[in-house]
């Protein structure tokens, strides 16, 4: 009789499948390199947009100035952020989608989230908070509960807690948004830091 796999063993097998994925290969200018950081013991899940060029090269999610800003919002250092037993990380698209002709990166490939996220989530049974960084993550997880704009969605953050917390993407391209919406750092960031520290018992 075959011994039943543990949740972590199932997740490790799934991650191996994810890393071999070539579904979008024809659309990826640098080829597929799915980037995820997952462990069944994780208590917080971060869902972003898609890896940038630097993350594609390093294989480390949020290994860029956007990640520095996100870690600052969360009030944690890199050691805590990259401890997969505490924090799981995946994006709406797992691979770098390439550059948009008008600047910035292309949107995440649409095939990725519906293919992989429903397989991953049941293997993350201890998640208490899912951070939704940016529009694509919010579309995928909040669905009809999402407001008509990212600003309105984030403004109504209290209606999504304790399970979800929608955030603007922490990219430097959103500096004008941060400056125009000071309530975000006054209200949402302190809640995020407190919740992260409580869940992780820091």
CATH number (domain holding residue 94): 3.40.470.10
Roughly what angle, to the nearest 10 degrees, separates helices 7-19 and 112-120?
Answer: 160
Cα 135 to its chain centre, rounded Å, is 11
Residue 56 in domain: yes
Residue 185 in domain: yes
Q: What pTM was computed for the model?
A: 0.96
- 3-38 residue pLDDT tens: 899 999 999 999 999 999 999 999 999 999 999 999
Cβ atoms of 47 and 133 closer than 8 Å: yes
Residue 186 in domain: yes
- 44-102 residue pLDDT tens: 999 999 999 999 999 999 999 999 999 999 999 999 999 999 999 999 999 999 998 88
Domain span at residue 180 reads 25-200
Rounded to whole angstroms, the Cα distance separating 103 from 180 reads 22
As for how many domains the chain has, the answer is: 1
Residue 99 in domain: yes
Number of C-alpha atoms within 13 angstroms, CB side, residue 33?
16
Residue 4 in domain: no
Residue 9 in domain: no
Residue 191 in domain: yes
């Amino acid at each position: 009789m075959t011994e039943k796999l543990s949740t972590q063993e199932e997740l490790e097998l799934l991650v191996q499948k994810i890393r071999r994925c070539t579904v979008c290969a024809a659309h990826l200018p640098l080829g597929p390199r799915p980037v995820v950081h997952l462990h069944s013991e994780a208590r917080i899940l971060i869902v972003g947009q898609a890896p940038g060029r630097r993350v594609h090269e390093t294989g480390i999610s949020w290994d860029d100035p956007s990640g520095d800003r996100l870690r600052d919002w969360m009030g944690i250092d890199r050691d805590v952020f990259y401890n997969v037993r505490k924090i799981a990380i995946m994006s709406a698209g797992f691979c770098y989608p390439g550059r948009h002709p008008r600047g910035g990166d292309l949107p995440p490939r649409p095939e990725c989230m519906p293919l992989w996220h429903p397989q991953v989530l049941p293997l993350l049974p201890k998640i208490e908070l899912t951070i939704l960084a940016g529009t694509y993550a919010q579309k995928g997880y909040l669905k009809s509960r999402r407001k008509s704009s990212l600003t309105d969605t984030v403004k109504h953050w209290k209606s999504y807690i304790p399970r979800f917390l929608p955030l603007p993407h922490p990219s430097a391209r959103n500096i004008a948004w941060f400056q125009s919406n000071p309530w975000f750092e006054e209200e949402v960031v302190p809640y995020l830091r407190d919740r992260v520290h409580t869940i992780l018992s820091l």
